[in-house]
Amino acid sequence: GGVITIDPGYKNTGSCQSAVTFLDGEKGILRYRGYSIEELAEKADFLEVAYLLIFGELPTKEQNEKFHSDIKAQSIVDEDIKKILDAFPKSAHPMGVISSLTSALTAFNPSSVNVDSEEEMYKSVVRILGKFPVLVAWTLRKKQGLPLDYGDNSLGYVENILKMMFKKPNGDYTQSKILVDALDKLLILHADHEQNCSTSTVRIVGSSHAGLFASISAGISALWGPLHGGANQAVLEMLEAIKEDGGDTKKYMAKAKDKNDPFRLMGFGHRVYKNFDPRAKIIKKAADEVLGNLGIEDPILDIAKGLEKEALEDQYFVDRKLYPNVDFYSGIIYRGMGISTDMFTVMFALGRLPGWIAQWREMRLRKEPIGRPRQIYTGETERAFVSIEER
Ligand code: CMC
């Protein structure tokens, strides 16, 4: 019984209680388990942040080492996964591929766990953290026609990801501290963001007691869209288009403001941040540093900065409190690192993985009920069936 009120897009609906991530959109505050994103991005590494998000505390040295070595032990996937990957055309979008491969993991690994067993829970966590980077590297390499291989377990988690992605067919790989630090920071900044579209998807799919891999595969699909994680690819394509168009930012600003034009300024605006996106601030600075350190001068960075400046002074954007979000500058860094545009959202997924796991785990441990919203029906009332001859 009771009255149903609707809130399309859940703009003002709280779906759960959560102790993972705190976000104050007015003040531009983001904290994982109480630690500020600024401090974590500066001082922690991605695996420590993953542990923090999932288990609630920063790991001790021993916990950290055990976590890493348990993940390494899981950094293999069934060779038959290669057959599934082979069936995709090279033109397939990596997000579709990675979502399918993640779902395919359920065929080779226990897909549902006894959530009352700490041990089984822990195993499923390290399993996905070990296997997902392999799938990411294989997806990228397959697209480029490179041989598929496993990682180098003597390396750190993030270092190993880069090596798996960029190792030459002859095994050559040049380590770069600049790239490792940059990717580490980007992954940390993407690691969780409370009840966003993909995380809500993971929680709701998991609430039917579907397994972790299946829930994460659904989250990847949700992340793919250009209004969510797909924005990082869309931003770069937009900046490229502006460059091709002679750098005419004013023209694109006008398009973004024109209500008859579906074009939006990609990488701008956020459902919750109405002052600034703290992640964007850090990423903008990192883009300058990383490109500077790599000795890259990318004209697209100047276009992005120009666009940001114009937007921040423009009444349309000021009135609607639209600021650059996490996706505005991240692609410029990925590009500087040599990652192709269509892989950007996969990199986002790699970063968001600990958040999805943490939120799924929390949802199961709290024994949340199955997610099942209601509706207000607006269709036909009761009517009599009409046979096909009489229609
Ligand atoms: N360019 C132009 N106008 C915009 C933009 C934009 N990027 N974003 C919002 N608006 C306008 C919108 O047209 C509306 O105007 P009006 O009130 O006149 O109708 C007003 O601002 C409010 O927008 P909304 O669409 O109702 O807000 P929302 O909370 O439903 O959407 C959003 C949030 C992020 C989907 C949206 O701002 C957007 O589409 N941005 C571009 C895509 C993007 O960068 N997405 C990444 C989001 S952050 C990372 C992530 O989630 O993965």
Domain ranges of the chain: 17-226+343-365, 231-336
17-226+343-365 and 231-336 share one CATH topology?
Answer: no
Model pLDDT, residue 1: 59
Contact criterion met (CB below 8 Å) for 186 and 347? yes
Nearest residue to 345 (alpha-carbon basis) of 184, 218, 220: 220
For ligand 1, pick from 202, 227, 232, 258 the residue to mutate: most ligand atoms within 8 Å of CB. 227
Strand spans (E) along the chain: 21-24, 29-32, 35-36
327 is a catalytic site residue: yes
**269 alpha carbon to ligand 1 midpoint, in Å?**
5
CATH superfamily of 17-226+343-365: Citrate Synthase, domain 1 (1.10.580.10)
Q: Give Rg (Cα) of the chain.
A: 22
Q: Which residues of the chain have pLDDT under 50?
A: none
- Is 325 touching ligand 1 by the criterion CB < 6 Å? yes
Shortest-distance atom of ligand 1 to CA 235: 44
How many angstroms separate the CA atoms of 234 and 371, rounded?
Answer: 31
Q: Which two tokens stand for residue 6?
A: 């609707």
Give residue 112's pLDDT: 78
ipTM of the complex: 0.97
The C-alpha atoms of residue 183 and residue 189 are separated, in whole angstroms, by 10
Classify burial at 368, counting beta carbons within 10 Å of its beta carbon; exposed 0-12, middle 13-18, buried 19 or more: middle
What is the b/e burial string over 66-95, where b = at least 16 CB atoms within 10 angstroms of the residue's CB? ebbebbbebbebeeebeeebeebeeebbbb
For ligand 1, say whether the CB of 318 is within 6 Å of any of its atoms: no
Best mutation site among 37, 320, 321 for ligand 1 pocket (most ligand atoms within 8 Å of CB): 320
Q: Using CA positions, which residue lies closest to atom 44 of ligand 1?
A: 267
7, 268, 315: which to mutate for ligand 1, most atoms within 8 A of CB?
A: 268
Asked: is 231-336 a CATH 3.40.1400.10 domain? The reply is no
Active-site residue (options: 45, 184, 270, 277): 270
Per-residue tokens: 253: 């600003």
The answer, yes or no, to whether any atom of ligand 1 lies below 6 A from the CB of 196, is: yes
